Structure 1
């Protein structure tokens, strides 16, 4: 049996309480409160701008759609709840990773060859996405990987050694919110709030959860973007000061 939970109600039940809880219990060990909040808001804005055209294209291609009566209103084919997700997810991830510390005393200077390593690895991610586009069912995951490559290239080329040096903060900052978002997304799919196309997905799922691999990779990459972006942001701020 499915319950007619709308997209906005999904946020009210699964997303907003977590955000409020993180705000109330916030700890700013990563940097000052001002730096964490400003960096998180900046990343949320960038996420909305960068994700909107990609998301709209996949919706128009029929990679996924929404259950009847689950969407309040749409702008440029994208539901209001989706726009809210573009902002709310970075806020949750940013406040979470703000609880962990990094050593920002490391100089910003990194050899060009070292930077190229990060750019090349990101390019491989993008090429794997393009390769998936040639396979049946590879549209969603293929475009996801291709879309993620420029962001990864910027972050990894700029400071992958710094991110690796603080891998524990990056890992915990990413995986804990990802785990929760995977569960919430699984529930949303089970409730029929959004439905993934079998034609444009590979049919692979996360064991136990039954979450489509495309959704799992989406939340993993987007959360990683925020964690890496915020860690690099506070590093640059500290070095400049």
Structure 2
């Protein structure tokens, strides 16, 4: 299907409304408003500082990779769907990179973020195992780059592996301890973004090259696109959980968990 739907209209139709919805539902809770006031009055590190940091990192890390894949011809944009480009990527692509972490973070903020951190036994062993897994993902990705049909799949895995290795080296035990929060935090935005990505492909906003993709799809969504949203949302959710853990440890350098006013959840539910 072809259409004159533009990348900007895609944002207005699918990303801005869901972000506004999450903001509106988040601020319904009176306890949430009280929590925000406490954090602002103390001047402590907040959840949203972490979101801003992760957004900047996402833009810096994704931009060269994104531009390379577009230049290589892994995907292109439909006629009339973009207004202007910076490098090889349209402005809408940069906006997407900036907006996605906030959508995921807004969803995660509806869940209960950790107020205390469990003691972990044998933390070094779990970190090493996780880094070895990340290395395996990276090696697998590099191997897949050698074949045209698996090039995009390999590019995603090879690009994701260093970030996963870093996050798992820092806090694999804490992430495993909060695995239910991580899974739920990742699953919902990944499903939503996969659905709207499928719609964008259907309307020809962006077009994947059959040469560099496997041709395997689930409900019309190329598996490469689903994997992309899975790993990028994993980056954001793990990054925010670890940001809370690291800043708590920084605020309590003696290793003792102090009572620190923290951003927990807009609904104050345990996950």
TM-score (norm 1): 0.93
Which residue of the other structure, out of 82, 97, 101, is the alignment partner of 2:93? 82
- Give the corresponding residue for 1:168: 180
Does the C-alpha gap of structure 1 residues 220 and 177 become closer, same or farther in structure 2, counting only changes over 3 Å? same
Report what 1:10 is aligned to: 10
What is the 5 A alignment of 1:1-150?
1-26=1-26, 35-101=46-112, 102-106=114-118, 111-150=123-162
CA distance in 2, matches of 1:108, 1:59: 43
Tell whether the 8 Å contact from 1:108 to 1:239 is kept in structure 2 after alignment.
no
The answer to whether the Cα contact below 8 Å between 2:141 and 2:156 also exists between their aligned partners in 1 is: yes
Partner of 1:204: 216
8 Å contact 1:144–1:218 — kept in the other structure? yes
Q: Is the 8 A contact 1:115 1:159 kept in 2?
A: yes
Q: Equivalents in 2 of 1:165, 1:187: separation in Å?
A: 36
Query: Does the aligned pair in 2 maintain the 1:7–1:193 contact within 8 Å?
Result: yes
TM-score using structure 2 length: 0.83
Give RMSD over aligned pairs: 2.0
State the 1:105 CA deviation.
2.7
Using the TM superposition, give the Cα deviation of residue 112 of structure 1 relative to its aligned residue in structure 2, in angstroms. Answer: 3.4
| Secondary structure of residue in 1 paired with 2:148 | coil
Matches within 5 A, 1:220-239: 220-239=230-249
8 Å Cα contact 2:7-2:82 kept in structure 1: yes
1:179 and 2:194 aligned: no
Unaligned stretches of 5+ residues in structure 1: none
Q: Distance in 1 between matches of 2:198 and 2:63?
A: 22
Q: Aligned partners of 1:147 and 1:153: how far apart in 2?
A: 11
SS, match of residue 134 in structure 1: coil
**Does 2:225 match 1:218?**
no
* SS of aligned partner of 2:50: helix
How many residues are paired up? 238
Q: Highest CA radius of gyration, 1 or 2?
A: 2
After TM superposition, give the deviation of residue 161 of structure 1 in Å. Answer: 1.4
CA contact (8 A) 2:120 2:173 kept: no
Q: Distance between the aligned counterparts of 1:52 and 1:109, measured in 2?
A: 38
Whether the 8 Å contact between 1:71 and 1:81 is mirrored in structure 2 is yes
- Which of 160-169 and 82-91 deviates more? 160-169
